[in-house]
Structure 1
C-alpha cells in the first residue's frame, strides 16, 4: 500500500499507530547512542505522539489547503531520471524450490568512455526472489567471470536497500573499456518466476574532487552452535591510507541479531560508529553519515556481529543445527561494507598500497 492519498491511508490508521509506537515503521535500526546519519528515518517522540493522537481520534482528514504537493516519481526510479539503464540480455528463470547458485550476468555493453556515476539504483524485476545483488566494475583486460573478486563495486542491493546518491563533489568511477558484472543471489519462494534486474545510473556533469570506493571486511571462519542465542563474531583491519568515511552497510542472514561498527582511537579505546541492536534481514539499509569522517591511515576498524541460533528466533531456519558461513539464506554471513572517499585520481588498487 502506497499511502499516497487520505482514502488509501485512513483504513490503516490503527495499524499505522501500532507500527510507529513500536518503532517498526519507518524502518530504521541505528541506535541513537552513536553517530548522526543523513538518511535517518527515525521519528521524533513528538511525531509519534501526533500520529498516535490522530489515529485515536478517528483519523480525521486535514485541510486540503494544507496538503503538501504530491510526490512525483520518475517512471518507477527513486533516483533522478537515469542517464543510462542496463540489464542482462534476458530474464533468468528462478525455480519454485531448491538452491540456486550465484548467477553472474554482463549488464549492458562496454563503456566507450570514462564515466563518473553520481547516483545508482539496482532495481529487481522480481524482488521476491532476489536475495541480494552486487554490481562489479570489470575493467578492460580483467578475465574474472565469477566468484570472489577485488574488482570495484558500483552498487549493493538487498531487501530494503535505498539507491546510492553520493554527496556533491563525489562519485564512483567506471573507466572506459569496462563492463558491469551483475552478481545475483536468487532464493526460490515456492512459486517459479522470472527476473531481469536493471541498473540505473546518473552521470556526474563534471569530474568530481573525490572518488567513492565501497570496501568490505568479512569473517568466514565461524560456526554458530545450535541453540546459541547470543553468538559473537568479529573481524578487524587497519586502513591502508587516509580516507573520508561515508557510511556502512551490514549484511547477515536470518540468524543475524546485532551489528556494531567501531574504530579504535589513539588512546586504544573503542568508539562505536554505528550500532544496530536489532538487525532485520528484510530491511537491509545503508547508514550514511551526516558528515564525512576523516580517518587516518593505520586506523583500526572493528566489526562485531551477534547471532541468535535458538528457537526463540522466529526466523531461524533450523535451531537444532550448527551453522557456519555460506551463501544460502539458511547459512550465515558476516559482512560489513563501508564507503570511503579518496582523491579522484586514486583507484582501489592504489588505495591498498600502504605508503610508509
Structure 2
C-alpha cells in the first residue's frame, strides 16, 4: 500500500490487527536487545492510527503528504540485480502428495571472486514454497560432488541410512521463507562468492490442492568495491531431540563457539509448527552471560531475521547459546498430531531447531578459521 487510495479500503482491518498486535509482525521481547529492523509500533503510534480510523480515515492536507515512495524494481525487494540466476527449468508441483526436498546445482560462471551486498530469493509461485536455501559450493568442496549441474535431484542417503541431519553446511548464502525479507547488507559489508563456485538450491515444495510450476530466481547486487568486512551465516543446531507426545514445553539446546574474535550482527531462529519460544544468549570467555534475543511467542508463519542495531564483539571462545521450547500438546492449534513423538525432519509436520546467525569479520580472514568441527554443541 503506497497511496491513500490503496490504504483506505483496509482501514478497519488495520485498526484490528494493530490493536491486537498481530501486525506488523515482530516477536522479540523488548527487554532484550535492540534491533535495526524492528517493526513494532509504539503505543502512541497505535493510538494515532486507531484515532484516524475512528475519525473516518480522512485524507490529510496535500501539503503534509510525504514524498512519493521510491520506485521499486518490479518483482524485487533489492535494487536492480546485477545478475539473476534461475532454476534451469520450471519444477512441476502436483496438486497433492509429499515431496522430498529438491536440489539443483547452478554454476555461477564467475571467473573472479565476487562480493555481494544485496541478495534475494524470489519464488515464481510462493503459494507452494515452504522455504528455499541457496548454498555456495566452492570449487574445492565435495558437497554433492557426484551430482550433475542443472538437474533436479533428491539428496542421497547418508552412510548411516539417514537423509535428515542438523549438520547444516557452513556455506549458507541466502534463504527464503514466508515473512523473510531480502538481505541487504550495510555499506562496507559483503558476502564472498569465490571464482568457479556453484549455487546449490534447496527447495521445499508443499502441494496446495492444484498443480502448478515454480522456477525460482536468485538476484545479486554486487559491492561497488571490495568491502572491509565479510558477512558469514552460520548456525547452532540440534537434530538429536525427540519430543514426547503431548509435551507442552519440551526444551532443546544448542550452542556454537567462535574460534576467532568476530562481531555478531544478526539472528534468525527457525522451528516448525510446534515451535513455542526461542532464546539466544552469549557466554563470554570470562563467564559473563547476556540474553540478546528472546522470542517468547514463536510464530512459524513469519520467519524473521533480527538484525542488531549495534554489532556485538565476540572474543575468541565466546559461545552463542540457543534454547528452544516446543509445544506438542493438543492445546497447540498448529500441532499436526499431538499423539506422536516428533524428531528432526524435513517436512513441516516434523521439527527443526536451528539458531542461524550472521557474523562479521575482516574480509581478509579465511572463514574456516571461525568454525571448527567441534564448534557446535548439542545438549
Taking the aligned partners of 1:111 and 1:337, their CA distance within structure 2 comes to 27
Given that 2:170 and 2:233 are in contact with CA atoms closer than 8 Å, whether structure 1 keeps it comes out as no
Shift of 1:269: 4.9
In the TM superposition, residue 267 of structure 1 has moved relative to its aligned partner by 5.7
Alpha-carbon displacement from aligned partner over 1:125-157 (angstroms, at most 9, x marks no partner): 111111111111111132322576635221122
Alpha-carbon distance in structure 2 between the residues aligned to 1:149 and 1:335: 9
Could you tell me which runs of 5 or more consecutive residues in structure 1 were left unpaired when the two chains were aligned: none
8 Å CA contact 1:138–1:151 kept in 2: the answer is no
Matched residue, 1:120: 119
**Superposition map of 1:322-337 within 5 A:** 322-337=341-356
Are residue 308 (structure 1) and residue 331 (structure 2) matched?
A: no
Residue deviations 1:86-114 (CA, integer Å, cap 9, x gap) = 11111111112221111111235421211
Structure 2 unaligned residues grouped into runs of 5+: 145-154, 156-162, 374-379
* 1:341, distance to aligned residue in structure 2 (A): 0.9
How far has the Cα of 1:322 moved from its partner? 1.6
2:140 alignment counterpart: 141
Cα offset, 1:6, TM superposition = 2.2
| Residue of 1, 16, 20 corresponding to 1:18 | 16
Distance 1:309 1:269 in 2: 33
Aligned-pair CA distance for 1:50 = 0.2
Distance 2:191 2:184 in 1: 10
TM-score, with structure 1 as normaliser: 0.94
CA contact (8 A) 1:87 1:108 kept: no
CA contact (8 A) 2:285 2:317 kept: no
Find out whether 1:276 has 2:295 as its counterpart.
Answer: yes
What is the root-mean-square deviation of aligned Cα atoms in Å?
1.7
Partner deviation per Cα, 1:322-354 (whole Å, 9 max, x = no partner):
211111000100001000011112233232259
1:264-292: CA deviation from partner (whole Å, max 9, x where unpaired): 24563531111111111111111100111
Counterpart CA distance in 2 for 1:253 and 1:279 is: 9
Aligned to 1:170: 189
Question: Quick check: 1:220 aligned with 2:270?
Answer: no
Deviation sequence 1:149-206 (CA, Å, 0-9, x none): 6352211221110111112211000011111111111111222211111111000011
Distance in 1 (CA, whole Å) between partners of 2:366 and 2:234 is 12
* Partner Cα separation in structure 1 for residue 11 and residue 372 of structure 2: 56
Q: 2:171 aligns with which of 149, 152, 156?
A: 152
SS in 2 for 1:171: strand
CA distance in 2, matches of 1:334, 1:215: 14
- Residue matched to 2:32: 34
Choose from 43, 48, 51 the match for 1:50. 48
User: Is the 2:251–2:323 contact (alpha carbons within 8 Å) kept by the matching residues of 1?
Assistant: yes
State the aligned residue count: 352
Determine the structure 2 residue equivalent to 1:192: 211
| 2:86 is equivalent to residue 87 of structure 1 | yes
Pairing partner for 1:65 from 63, 87, 96: 63
Contact 1:88 1:108 in 2 (8 A): no
- The TM-score, its normalising length taken from structure 2, stands at 0.89
Partner residue, 2:306:
287
Deviation at 1:29, TM superposition (A): 0.9
Over residues 279-321 of structure 1, what are the superposed CA-to-partner deviations in whole Å (9 max), with x where a residue is unaligned? 1111111110011111001112210111111222111111222
Aligned partners of 1:326 and 1:332 also within 8 Å:
yes
Aligned 8 A contact 2:281 2:289 in 1: yes
Cα separation, partners in 2 of 1:266 and 1:344, compared to 1, 3 Å: closer
Cα gap change, 1:144 to 1:20, in 2 (>3 Å): same
Report if the CA contact (8 A) 1:86-1:108 is conserved. Answer: no
Q: Could you tell me how far 1:237 is from its partner in structure 2?
A: 2.8
